[in-house]
Structure formats: structure tokens, C-alpha cells
Structure 1
Amino acid sequence: MLDRLAMVLRADPHRPAVLTATALTGRSRVRATTGDLTNLTDRYTAALARHGLAAGDTLGLAVRPGPRSLAVLLAAYHLGVRVAVLDPTAGPDVLTARLAVAEPALVLADAAAQAVAGWAGPLARRAHLALPDLTRIAPVRTVGRRLPGCAPALPASAGPPPAAFDGDGDAVIVFTSGTTSRPRAVVHTRSGLSAGMRAVTGLVGPQPDAPVLGGTFFVLVPALAAGAPVALPDRPPALLARQLTRLRPQATYLTPPQLRAVLDHSPRLTGQVFSGSAPVSAALLGRVKRAGADRAYGVYALTELFPAAAVEEADKRGYAADGDLVGRPLPGVSARVDDTGQVWLSGAGQADRYLGEPPMAEVATGDVGRLDGDRLVLAGRCKDMVLRAAENIYPGLYEPALHAPGVALAVLVGVPADDGDERLVAVVQPEPGADRARLRAALRPVLDRMGSARPDRVMFARVPLAGRSRKPDRRAAAQVAARVARDG
């Protein structure tokens, strides 16, 4: 897939590749052509080689999404260099530990990332962004505009780039969990990465020339390889709504929190809309189609295997049994359920291993589920089980039903009780403007059907989110529920 992208970029240097946001002007503007991306990639490839990086080395990357970060990733792939992605939301202590494990030979950072690690640190921490002093970890070079106080610029190198690395090997390191003493990182190989992007191509089917909107490497590369220009989503929901309305993308990929926020601003959606990285309810997909999308998909994916399964809104809405239907595993992906109920996945696009550990034959998802014919149904996370009155309750079995009309998000959490047991609390976040009396009436028959898993209490509150993908933070939700219960 990445080799194909390199060929497509060179075939027509004048084809639009990356579009700017259209929210303010009403017209798309070309931020980078395929020729621009090719030139950037060649310059970065030659510069990294001149710096001494070669196949098997690790490159740390702290560059905002855009043409430069994409070109750096393509340059690293060309050389056989693996990339360790730096997440500024993880906190400086965690990042320091992660990079100590990854041992990058070089860190590339833009001026914004270096400001977060330096003079802008106090301001950035208010937005939950923080980076350690990168220069203490590895040599640092600046990509893009260099401001006072930044590391030296990555020197541009003229002339043809070195020959492409021909073989397999590590391509990318993505840190997912762990502690400062034992970070955990997913390692994808070049062949696995390409297989995952081929799976995206098969799912989305991008067509040439019509734009695709998304912010992840797995979305951007297949679109560009198909000859489709890409646009990065605007951050403010109001601007994103205008961007979607005016750009009219053939395909859009947004996380559930992004979708919920943008739908509150009444965008006019088009084409296919995909959402994943966190649970996607049938109610949310229904809102997407009512906003104009032709089709709306929930995508089941893990950092270890992206994408794994997908389900369209009509199928999800029509599923009446317990649990969260996430659809049929995509071609090449196999699923099984072990004796404990945990789902295991395998396929050509799966991660090779966790950093510092032996290769994995299959991926332990951490999800409890079952197979309904050839469809995968989830019951929740293994660690999220609530034990009440000696009964195991898996929240994922019942949370989909809580998404009645007017519910934006809902989770079931366990709250410790004075008798040593747990109480089950439903934390329900209403949609803006929803009438709570009507909402309680709509939830009443849902609660009646939950049987022994009926929650002890239903409370209306905003569901806390956490992490890069802004998933529901169950621990924080449980703390909110406990505080409300304590205060009466």
C-alpha cells in the first residue's frame, strides 16, 4: 500500500493531495499537491539518511498531523526506519519512560511540540498537553518553521533519495498503556501495516478525486493511494460542521466524541461516515444518517489490529438481542471466544508483538463477547465487570439499550457499598436540550427489560472521557456516581 502511494504521488505532481479546512471560505484550497508531498518525502528521506538513520533504527515523531508528518512517515518507511509516535496527552513522566524503552536515535519535532516541552508548558498543561524535555532523550531536530529556542532544523538535502529498503521489519511503535516503570507498546511491521491499510481500502472503497476527511494515517494513506485528496478535520465542532457541509466528502472518519459534538451543530453529511476507537451506538449512527449520510458504520478496531469488524447502522439498529453488535470480521480477520468469554483476533494486519515481548500468534482483545453466527457481539471489557449480589454483570451487554432517544452517552458502573457489595449505577448523559422527564419515561421500559442487571440508580450527568480517543472513563464515572450517592 505504501509503495503504491509513492507511485501515485509521482504519477501526477499537480493532483490535489491535502486540502485546507473549508469552514471559513466555503471553498476548499489545496494545501499540498502530490508533487509537494513527493518533494517533502524525498528531502526528509535524504536528510534522515544523511543524519545516519538506517533500517532498524527508531525515529521519535512529535509533529502535528499534516503534510509534513505524512512525509516524515513515508521517508521513514522508505529507509526501513521505525517510527515511535509521541502523544503529548500522556504526560511528561510517562513519555520519558516510553521513549527510554523505544530508544530513538533521533526525535523530529515541530515548533509547537517543542513549545509544549518548553516555554509554553504551563499554558499547555491547562489543555492537558505536556512533553518532557526532548533533548534529554535523544538528539532533536526541528521540522517545519523554526522559532527561537527550537532545536536546529533538520537540514534539507538535495539530490535523489537513497534506494528504498526492500524487506519486512518494524514500521511503527504505538504506546497504548502501562506505567512509568513498565510502558507497553504495540509494534507493527511493514507488511502488517500494509495489510491493515488494504483492509481499510476494501471497507471504504475510496474513489479518485472526491475528498476524504479523517485524521489518522490508516485513513489518509489508502485515500491518497486511490487518488483521493484528504482533509484533516477542524477541531472546533462548529467549524467542523461547516467543513463537512461545504467539503461534501465521499467518506468521513471521526471518533464518537467528535461525531456527537459536530452533530450538535447540524452539519449536512454526505457519503459514508465511519466511527470507531470507542463504542459506537446505534442511536449515534442513526443521527449520522438523519444528518444526510448515505451509510453510517461503526468500526471495531484495536491498536493491535485495525480494522477488525464493521457494522452498518441498519444492521445495528435491527439487532434486538443483548450486547453490542460490532459486525462481521473483515476479510482476512478471524475471531474466536475462549472459555472465559474473552474475544481473540488474528489476521494479516495484526501487530507483530508488544515491544520487548515475543511475537504474538493472535491478539487478546480484553473484550468479553460471543459469536452470533458469523457476527461478533461484545458484552464489555473483562476488567469492567461489576459483581453485585454474587452475580457477574458485564456492562456492555446492557449499555446499548440505554441509548434511548435523547441519550447522548450512557455507561453502567459499579460503586462500592457499605456492606462490601457493589451497587450498579447508570450514568446517562442527555443530548443538549433533551427533556429529562421524557427521558426517564423512555428509559423505564428499557430498565424493566434488564432483569437482574437493572441498575440500582439512574443519574443524569456528563460521562467523563479520557485518553487520546476520548473513550468513556469508567473509573471517573464511578467516582462521580459515588460522590452523588454519598451527598444524597
Structure 2
Amino acid sequence: MLGDLLASLRDDDPRPAVLGCGRTGRPVVRATRADLSRLTTGYAAALHARGLVPGDTLGVAVRPGPRSLAVLLAAYHLGLRVAVLDPTAGPDVLLARLGAAQPRLVVADAAAQAVAGWAAPLARRAHLALPELAALAPTVTVGRRLPGTAPALPLAPGPRPRGYDGDGDAVIVFTSGTTSRPRAVVHTRASLTAGMRAVHDLVRPVPERAVLGGTFFVLVPSLAAGAAVALPARTPRRLVRQAARLAPQATYLTPPQVRAALAAGMRFTGRVYSGSAPVSAELLARVHRAGADEAWGVYALTEVFPAAAVESTAKSAFTGTGDLVGELLPGVRARTAADGQLLLAGPNAADRYLGADRTEWVETGDVGRVEGTRVVLGGRRKDMILRGAENIYPGLYEPALHVPGVDLAVIVGVPAGDGDERVVAVVQPAAGVPAEAVRAALRVPLDRMGSARPDAVVVAQVPLAGRSRKPDRAAAARLAAAS
């Protein structure tokens, strides 16, 4: 898929490739396919001229957009291994990750480097920090330079260097761990390509209409199919105007983005996909009612992207316990370990964790079961609540709380002494829905939870965390304890 996109780029192709959003929601061309072609060739030639060879690690800290995409395509073309560096992770974490990845070169935009002098207040407000990069690896700036940033990486003239045709590591994505032991997923060129093809086959992009979405896994398959990609506007109101003007054939947004867009009056077109955090049947149904032809929940991990998918109709019709996350995508295999944990394998599964041996089966951390080709989750293993002598897995019961009028709901444990816990549901109402109406709507599903029924229900905003804005269960537990 990446090779297909690289082969399709030409310097004389005027078709739009990457779109931004104007103030009124009007699509703005940020890069044509010709621009993307020239950027990719120029960065590939520049990296090659600096002596980088297949297998070398390139650190990348560039905000999503044409330049970051061109750098990633150039690195893939040359057979480099990209270490994705998140500028929002904080200086200590970033330094640890740089130490683990050991890049020969780091490319960063000016915003990621804005940590000193006049830019420091701006950087702190944006939660951006890449301190002392030069102490660990040579650093260069892509795009506009600002005072105090590293030297520029200019686009090198001449033809694109010869590409690398073999397999090998393609990307390092840091997921968790500590500053002393950062944890990172390593995907090979083969697993990355398999994941891209799975996304292409699920989304089915065609050249005639744009796709709305900002992740690398959306950009590459869509552009390879000839479709332009619009990067989602940052504010819900502008996103609503953007979607109205664009009428995309497909949209990919995280659940928090979807909820905010719906609250702002979003009308959807085509097929809508949501993932990176739990997607309830009620949320998908709301998307469907807001105009989408199809509304899909996508089950994906950094280690296996994507793994399974379910359309709104099938998810709403599911009456079993747990959360139906869908049919396994072609090539993906699943089984349940002796401890109830869901294990996944397949051509799009990561090769290994950085510094560890290769493994065939990926431990998801989710309690789950496999029903034929369908996967049903019962929550995160670490989220288990112990009340009395009973183990309660929140994921088995949370889907039932997502009734009309509820935006998001989590079940958490609150310490009750002697190692026991109280079970509390933290429920976030939809915009404009009073707490009394939410409590009334929850009476039946709470009655059906039997021995797992929560001891209390707190109606409040569910705290979120991380780039994907998943529910922050620790913060929700603190909120529940204080209520």
C-alpha cells in the first residue's frame, strides 16, 4: 500500500491530496499530489545525502500534515525505521524514549522544539516539549524555522534515490511503560502494509470524493486509492461546517470527537468509522440517525490495527453479555487464553516489542471471548473490581448503560476498606439531558445487572486522558470517591 502510493505520486499531478479547513469550513488545499511528490522526493534525497541507510532509525516529531506524511513516505522509501515521538509526552518521557530508540537523526517541526526563549510560554500552553534533543541525536527542522530551532532539513534537488525493496522494521510506536523502561511496539514493513490494506478494504475509498480523517492509517490507503484526505478541524463547530461543505465519502473520528461533533449538530454523510476507544451501540446509532449511511465501530490496538469491526445495526441487535466489537477482519486470528485474556495474531500484527523477542500472539489486555468469527469483550483485565468474593469486569456491563441520553459511562471500583471495593457507575449525560432523566433511563438496565449492580451512580463528565481521549478510570474512581 505504501509502495502503491509512492509509485502513484507524480510531480505534474495537480489533484488535491491533503485538505485543510478554512474559517467557514471551506476546504483549503494544503498540498496537491504534485506537492506531496516533490516533498517526498526532496526529503528522501536529503536523508540519503546525510548518510542514512536501510535499518537506520529516524526520530520524527512533526505535527500531522503534508510534511509529516512526506517524511514518513521518504523514510519508508529508503528502508529507514521511524520512531514516532509525541511532543505532548513531556520532557522526561521523551528523553527516555529517545534513549530507547537511539535514532541517528531526529526531524522535528518548530512547534515541537519551542521549549526556550520567547516560545516557551506558547510551548507550555500547547503541552509541547522536546528538550535537549541534540544531546541524544542530531536534530533538524522541517518546515518553517523559528528562533532557537535546529538547522533546517532543506529539500535536496535531483531525482528520488533508489528505493529499498526488502522487509525489516518500519516503525516504532511508544505506548506505555516508565521512564526507565519505555514500552514500544515495532511494526515491520510487511505488517504495516497488511494493516493499510485492511483499512482500505474496510473503508473502500474511491477517487471521486474526499475522506475526512487525520491518522496515517487513513491518509495512506485513501491517497493510494486516488481520494483526497481532509484533516479534521480542531473545534467541533468548525468540524460541523467542514463536513457540511465537504460531504465526505468516509469519516474517521475518535469517540470523543464524534460525541463533541454530535453535540454541535453534526450531519454525517457516507460511511463513518470510530475507534481508538470504546464505541457504544448508542453512539453508533446516533451517528446513523445523524445521516451516516453506515456507522462502524473499529476494534484496533497499536499492535494490531485494525483487528475487528462492527456496523451499527449488528451492534444494536446484539443481546449477549459484554461488548460486541465485531467480526475479525480477513487474516486476523483470535483465541482466549486460560486467564480469559483475548489474544490476536495475523499479518497486520506487530513483530515484537522493542528490545524483546518476536511473538506470534499479541496479548490485548482485554477479557474476551470468540464466537465463531465474532469478538466480544468483557473489559480490561486490570479494570477488574473485587466486591465481596465476586470479580466484576466493568466491560461486561458498561454497554448496557449507554442508553439514549447517555454520552459515556464507566464502572469503577472505589476502596471500601479491608481490600474490598464499592462499585460506582460514572455516567455522562448527553448535552441538554438533565440528571433526573438519565437516572430514570438507567433504572431498567441497572436492575438487569444482578449481583454486579453498582452501589451508586454519579452523573458527571467522565474524565478522559491520552491522545485518543479514552476514559481515565483512575480519575473517574477519584471522582466517584469524592461524590
Q: TM-score, normalised by structure 2?
A: 0.98
Shift of 1:11: 8.5
Does the C-alpha gap of structure 1 residues 58 and 429 become closer, same or farther in structure 2, counting only changes over 3 Å?
A: same
Structure 2 counterpart of 1:62 = 61
Query: Which amino acid in structure 1 is aligned with residue 346 of structure 2?
Result: G
Please tell me whether residue 357 in structure 1 is matched to residue 350 in structure 2: no
Structure 2 counterpart of 1:400 = 399
Shift of 1:464: 0.7
After superposition, the CA RMSD in angstroms is 1.3
Measure the CA separation in 2 of the matches of 1:133 and 1:234: 32
Please tell me whether residue 221 in structure 1 is matched to residue 212 in structure 2: no
How many positions carry a matched residue from both structures? 483
Mean CA deviation greater in 343-352 or 129-138: 129-138
Structure 2 counterpart of 1:17 = 17
Does the C-alpha gap of structure 1 residues 83 and 119 become closer, same or farther in structure 2, counting only changes over 3 Å?
A: farther
- Deviation string 1:440-473 (CA, Å, 9 cap, x unpaired) is 1110011000000000000111111111111001
SS in 1 for 2:338: coil
SS in 2 for 1:76: helix
Shift of 1:88: 1.9
Query: Which amino acid in structure 1 is aligned with residue 9 of structure 2?
Result: L
- Deviation string 1:372-411 (CA, Å, 9 cap, x unpaired) is 3321000000100001011000000000000111111100
Measure the CA separation in 2 of the matches of 1:354 and 1:117: 34
Please tell me whether residue 476 in structure 1 is matched to residue 475 in structure 2: yes
The 5 A counterparts of 1:258-337 are 258-337=257-336
Determine if contact 1:110/1:144 at 8 Å carries over to the other structure. Answer: yes
Please tell me whether residue 381 in structure 1 is matched to residue 380 in structure 2: yes
SS in 2 for 1:61: strand
SS in 2 for 1:288: helix
Shift of 1:130: 3.1
Structure 2 counterpart of 1:6 = 6
Determine if contact 2:111/2:128 at 8 Å carries over to the other structure. Answer: no
Shift of 1:419: 4.0
Does the C-alpha gap of structure 1 residues 367 and 11 become closer, same or farther in structure 2, counting only changes over 3 Å?
A: same
Measure the CA separation in 1 of the matches of 2:316 and 2:119: 46
Shift of 1:300: 0.1
Determine if contact 2:11/2:38 at 8 Å carries over to the other structure. Answer: no
Structure 2 counterpart of 1:120 = 119
Shift of 1:10: 2.3
Structure 2, unmatched stretches of 5+, are none
Percent identity reads: 70
Does the C-alpha gap of structure 1 residues 433 and 83 become closer, same or farther in structure 2, counting only changes over 3 Å?
A: same
Measure the CA separation in 1 of the matches of 2:345 and 2:116: 38
Structure 1 counterpart of 2:441 = 442
Shift of 1:432: 1.4
Shift of 1:340: 1.1
Measure the CA separation in 1 of the matches of 2:39 and 2:218: 20
Please tell me whether residue 100 in structure 1 is matched to residue 99 in structure 2: yes
Measure the CA separation in 1 of the matches of 2:11 and 2:46: 23
Measure the CA separation in 2 of the matches of 1:231 and 1:116: 30
Shift of 1:116: 4.3
SS in 2 for 1:94: helix
Shift of 1:89: 2.2
Structure 2 counterpart of 1:166 = 165
Mean CA deviation greater in 308-317 or 413-422: 413-422
Query: Which amino acid in structure 1 is aligned with residue 266 of structure 2?
Result: P
Determine if contact 1:117/1:133 at 8 Å carries over to the other structure. Answer: no
Structure 2 counterpart of 1:241 = 240
Q: TM-score, normalised by structure 1?
A: 0.97
SS in 1 for 2:27: coil
Measure the CA separation in 2 of the matches of 1:426 and 1:266: 27
Determine if contact 2:211/2:227 at 8 Å carries over to the other structure. Answer: yes
Determine if contact 1:118/1:133 at 8 Å carries over to the other structure. Answer: no
SS in 2 for 1:238: helix
Mean CA deviation greater in 138-147 or 174-183: 138-147
SS in 1 for 2:358: coil
Measure the CA separation in 2 of the matches of 1:379 and 1:125: 39
Determine if contact 1:26/1:246 at 8 Å carries over to the other structure. Answer: yes
Query: Which amino acid in structure 2 is aligned with residue 15 of structure 1?
Result: R
Shift of 1:33: 1.0
- Deviation string 1:247-292 (CA, Å, 9 cap, x unpaired) is 1110010000111111111122100000000000011111111111
- Deviation string 1:297-326 (CA, Å, 9 cap, x unpaired) is 000000001000000001111111110000
Measure the CA separation in 2 of the matches of 1:48 and 1:304: 28
Structure 1 counterpart of 2:426 = 427
Determine if contact 2:111/2:123 at 8 Å carries over to the other structure. Answer: no
Structure 2 counterpart of 1:53 = 52
Determine if contact 2:276/2:299 at 8 Å carries over to the other structure. Answer: yes
Measure the CA separation in 1 of the matches of 2:118 and 2:173: 27
Structure 1, unmatched stretches of 5+, are none
